[in-house]
């Protein structure tokens, strides 16, 4: 998901109302097929300037698919490191 923070709860130190953010909510037990979502602030990451919210929303899915493809091709294995 990607969007603008509408409001934050008391004691939240991090994102503020109006911040542009994205998140992969799978690990938090949430989906994002809604106009609004309520998630832990720790799940949110800022959207860099120049990146549209539509592009930011694709990051978790497209990144995960790319990683799956690389693993299936045998290019990434536990302990292989990056080179």
Domain residues of the chain, as ranges? 2-72
pLDDT string in tens for the chain (83-residue length): 899 999 999 989 889 999 999 988 877 776 777 788 888 898 899 999 999 999 998 887 787 788 888 888 887 777 776 55
Work out the angle at residue 63's Cα, subtended by the Cα atoms of residues 41 and 52, and round it to the nearest 5 degrees. 65
**CA 17, CA 74: separation in Å to the nearest integer?**
43
**Which residues make beta-bridge pairs with 3?**
21
Per-residue model confidence (pLDDT) at position 34: 79
**Whole-structure pTM value:** 0.71
Per-residue model confidence (pLDDT) at position 30: 67
Of 42, 56, 53, the C-alpha closest to 9 is 42
Per-residue model confidence (pLDDT) at position 61: 78
> What is the number of H-type helices and E-type strands within the chain?
2, 3
């Amino acid at each position: 998901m990607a969007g603008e923070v509408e409001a934050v709860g008391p004691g939240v130190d991090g994102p503020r109302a109006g911040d542009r953010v994205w998140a992969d909510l799978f690990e938090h037990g949430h989906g994002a097929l809604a106009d609004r979502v309520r998630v832990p602030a720790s799940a949110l990451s800022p959207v860099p300037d120049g990146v549209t919210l539509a592009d930011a929303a694709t990051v978790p899915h497209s990144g995960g698919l790319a990683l799956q493809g690389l693993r299936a091709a045998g290019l990434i294995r536990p302990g292989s490191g990056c080179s």
